[in-house]
Structure 1
Amino acid sequence: MSTISLINPEDSPERQTEKLMTIAASLMRRVEEGGESTGAAYAQFQRAALLEEEVRARTRDLEQAMELLNTSNAMLANATQEAEAARTNLANAIETVQEGFALFDSSERLVLCNSRFGMHMPDIRDSLQPGLTFQRYVHLISESLHLALPEGETPRQWRIRRMERHRDDHVIFNVRMIWNRWVQVSEHRTADGGTVILQTDVTDIMRIERQERERLLDDQARLIRATLDHLDQGVCIFDAHGHLAGWNQRMGDLLHVPIRRVYLNAEANGLLDWIEGHFTFQGISARGARDWIARRAGRDPMTFELRRGVEVLHVHAQEMPDGGFVISFTDVSAERAAVAAIREANESLEARVAARTLELQAALGAAERANASKSRFVAAASHDLLQPLSAAKLYLSSIPTDDGDPVTQEILSKTGRALQSVESILDALLDISKLDSGLAAVHVGPTQLGSMFARLEEELGPVARRKGLELRVVPSTAVASSDSTYLRRVLQNLISNAVRYTARGKVLVGARRRGDTIRVEVWDTGPGIPDDKRDVIFNEFQRLESIASPSEGMGLGLAIVDRACALLGHRLTLVSEVGRGSGFLVDLPLAKVQKLDEGGRAVPSDLAQDRLAGRLALLIENDADFRQAMTILLEKWGVDVFAVATGAEASALLSEVGLVPDVIVADYQLDDGERGTDAVTALRHTFGPVPACIVSADRGKELQEICARKDLPLISKPIEPGHLAINLVALLERSTT
């Protein structure tokens, strides 16, 4: 059942009360007028009572609403009063600020500003009202008659530049006004996106700064003037337009220029005219100097010289950052005269040196020819003398020694020792001759020190025992890299010298490992060598004991040791103390082999054989027996061998089988004048950069140089298997890196 309301809820409480009172009065009137006490009348009365109660309730609600409304109005009035007071306080506060102040909200509209804001632009002051947009504010300033725009800039360009600065959160810049006044603008972004602008009059500060700058410039000008006047160089300064802006007295003195030509704002070309008429340009022409001045900007430094008689001026021109330039003049007449004198002296000295060099070359040539002649003579004489000497020894050995005559036995013994001494001297002379002439051929390879020590002990042990000395040789398993012949001669001479000059005690021979080297040491308990004799003993025919007999040697042993060690590159060290003995130390490199055969020769290690197994080797050798022996040796190591006699056969065989070998081993001297190096070059041209080596019995320097130029390792005959294996492995490893 829907209820029909007699009151419109949207009416105000006063209106609803008025309607209810009217309805109640009407109902009461109808009740009074109706005489019949019927049920309808009673119902109407009840309805009127209900309406009256509702009227009272609505009246109470209306009174409460009115009370709340009055309270709210009172609070609003207080808030409005406080806001007005705050606004007034803010306005008073910003008014007390000495600078111009303005606040724009986040929508770029002016909220408020003080009276000093825009005070330097009276023509726009009235337009600075709340609600003004920031863009309009900038437009007004750009069009103001009081704004002094930069030279060449339009109001529109100024506005664009100002709005670009507005994009930054914080910006400070100076604005020039008419009548030489300046305003500093400081703009900052607030937390809510608004903008605060402060305008400060900085005219006085700018004027003081300008005055201070002008004073500093005056001081600097005086300082520069004093500096220029004390320079030994002549200096002139030109501005960006080529006009003289400054100079010193030294410039006028050096150029001998009249005073009428040197004045402020004088043109550079005028000064150049004077210079061109009185000096000669060197290093540049006068036209080139004028072009340099005319360029105005982007000039590189310019240097040249001016000459007038013996007078020489060094000129240097340098551009300045503002487009001007500085020219300096330095008197270098004395220096140039000294250089000329030195050049003349050098030419004279060079002539004397050349003449002296020719004399020395002639003398050196004569000395070399004499030395070569001496070496040839010694070699020939030694060879010719050894023949009859050998015959004399044979004749001596054929004389019967069983006659028992002690005198005869003594004579034969002395004769034998004398002949042995002569033979030793001739051998030493021959060695010295070879070492001095540079004809000594060395063959460096693995050398077992133990077997060499044993043979030397067998040879020299009896000699030491006859003198009552102990020759102790420490066994060694080391393998050194050296020429076994020359190394044996070195050690033989060192041990012989130790035995010869040691009266009592012992001689000790041994070897010590020192990293990648092995040091062979020969120690004795002899008289020792004084410090002033340590260099002398290595010269020929030098002996510390002058009373020694010729049969004990002629003092050539240490000379041979010194030269042989130098030839082999072995360091020789002498350690000695007078009265206690001496020690000779020879440093040798260790060989890269692991095994030796019974004769002391190196054989390839198992690792080297493993690396060679399965490889294909091309062997070019014209000697059939040697070719077969090499083939058997390589196949023993697991190498597949193509053995041929010539380079043509090698090329034909490789083309036929369509294979490229892993390594080439070629003899140097082949049939019909063919060279192994040429054969390798031809094969590499056809089949690519195949690793290769040369084998030869030729140990001359010429072949060594040829192989070095072609990057071909040279292996000398007779070939040691270990040395060959090491070289082949090295070639293969190098080709894979």
Structure 2
Amino acid sequence: MIDPEETLEQQVARQSKIIDALIRRANREHGVGGSVYSLFQSAIALQGEVWEKTRDLEQALDTLGRASNKLKIAEYAWQQTEQNLAEALEAMEGGFALFSESELEVFNDQFKTLVPDLEEEITNGLELDTYFELLQSSASVVSVAKTGRKTDTTGDNRSFSLDRPSVLELRGDRWFQITRKSASANRTVLLSTEITRIVRQNRLEKNRLIDEQSFFLQAAFDHMTQGVCTFSEEGTLLITNERFRELLNLPLFLVQKGTAIRQILEFARKQRLLVGLETGDDFDEILHELRSRGSIDTMVRHVNGNILNIRVHGLPDKGYIMNVLDITAETHSKETLEQMVQERTRELTAVNERLRRQNEEQAIIDEQLRQAKAEAEEAVSSKTKFFAAASHDLLQPINAAKLLISTLGEGTQDTPFEDTVSRLGRSFDSIESLLHALLDISRLDSVGSELSISSFCIGDLLSSVRDDYARLAREKGIDLSIVPCRQWVQSDRRYLLRSLQNLVVNAIQYTETGRILAGCRRKHGLLVLEVIDTGIGISPEDQTRIFSEFTRVSEKSSDYGMGLGLSIVERACRRLGHPLSVSSTVGKGSRFSITLPFGQVPDELPVGLAEEQDTHAEAMDLIVLIIEDNEDVLFATAQKVESWGGSVLTASSTAQAVEQVREIGMAPDIILADYQLTGSDNGVEAIKAIRRQTSSRVPAIIITASPPGELEEASRKQAFTVLSKPVKLSSLRSLMDWKTHQPKIVCFGT
């Protein structure tokens, strides 16, 4: 009965009518009954309904009042927002316009007054395309340019870009940038920003740069040795230098900016300044020739006698540049230059001929040098091969003599011959030392000799040196102290041992009293092997020459050798890459140091001899098979082994050795075999044959004069030990005991 869409007043009026109608109806119904109580009862019921309707009406009025308040608040907020937006638009520095459905809806005064003659046309409802058309036809608009492409300021380019800003030039040198933005699918925003100050500033900066470039260009022109002049497309002078006026001998008024080239040509024609240039030709014809050919290059003679080279080239702006160069000196000296060239050519030909002959002579000399070098290398190689081949024959008698002297020494103890035998032994020791020195120098000087680099415990070398030279030190009354070391190093074991031996022997040689100390210490991640003595010392001037061959610091000790020991040490350390140093004080002693890299300690340490056995140990109870093709060495070795208590079987070849073993019907306890036997026979084959015959891995020692590296692989595969000749008896006895008893004594690395 009540329409919610009606206004509040209409709803209240309608409810009042409904209430009145209900009251009249109730009165009619209760009047018919005529009962007062019925009327009262009907009035009470009607009053309850009226109260209920009144309550609903009050609630509706309250709801309507709250809605009305909210509507007023929203309307006020809208008005405030609209006012703020209007104020913000007016406060903007540029123009703003909002087009909805391509019709102008909102804009500010700056947008309206942007183009003065369009101010009356800027109204709500203006079409966007119509606005652009008005801009393009406006008399106040000079030009429209799209950013990102060349601006055409002639007024012809008036199209607006839809995807990038356009620059609008107005009369009075005013500039605006118009930017088009899409606010939504059907709303477009136009922003106009005045950029007059930026454009004017850029123009000033551009003019400044042009002026600077003109200044630099003029300065460059003024310092050029040739005359330069540039002309515009119309033929007026733009830039020139003083050299241009001097070469052409022109008056000052003709080299001012703006002077026409016609005037210059006319002046030259009248004054007859140039001979060879058709100055009477029309300028247009000259210009046509220049444009068709691209350049003009001619040589003329000036009235003052100078010869000028004139070149005219076109420029990108359709102007042209003229270069004038004085070539008088070059022209006058042309004939002279030609003569000089001919003379120089003849000289060069003669020099080339001399060089050719010298090259031929040099080629002959080079060939002779090559042959001499080849002969020298062949001589060195032959020397090395000779020493290698002769080493066995040279060491054989020394080895036999030392064995015999050792046996003889045991038999002459406490007899008048004891001192003689001792001196004889020392003499052979000197022979052995000298022979080893010569062999070492030969191997170190040989280019083809190879080093055998491996990791080993340096304690073995220190122990060997202690046992070999302790007796010699005791005889001189010197205390030789060897500090044990369990470090592993990486080097050539043989050459490092020889170097250490030579340093110790050198210390014993030049120390009269006191002590010699040999040991190792860590330094900067390396191991330094040092030999320190309290000897006579070495002067600073002698510390560099002591490593040369046949050099001795003092002649008092000449009985100890030929001065080759330190030379061998220096050569070996140089080949091995081990730094060698010496420090010494005269009268106090010397310190020699060899710096070594640490070696890799194997997971399973090999069993070695930490301490050699005493040569006077108890008698050995062994069957020893000695294989040696030299009768003297065989006899001396057998006699020495028998003096130790061993039972000896002797053979000169593999066949005899196998026959000896077959006769006794059992395997020997150990084999001592020379490596080089008669013919192609050798000790390695003999060891293999004995082991096959006895079906057992008999312990074996190869005694050889060859470099130990040659047998390294074979010794590892066949499990035999290599001893170098001459054999040290203490080493031989200790090694035989160890090979037969296999004591588990190892040298640990730390």
TM-score computed with the length of structure 2 as normaliser: 0.48
Greater relative contact order structure (CA < 8 Å, 6+ sep): 2
TM-score computed with the length of structure 1 as normaliser: 0.48
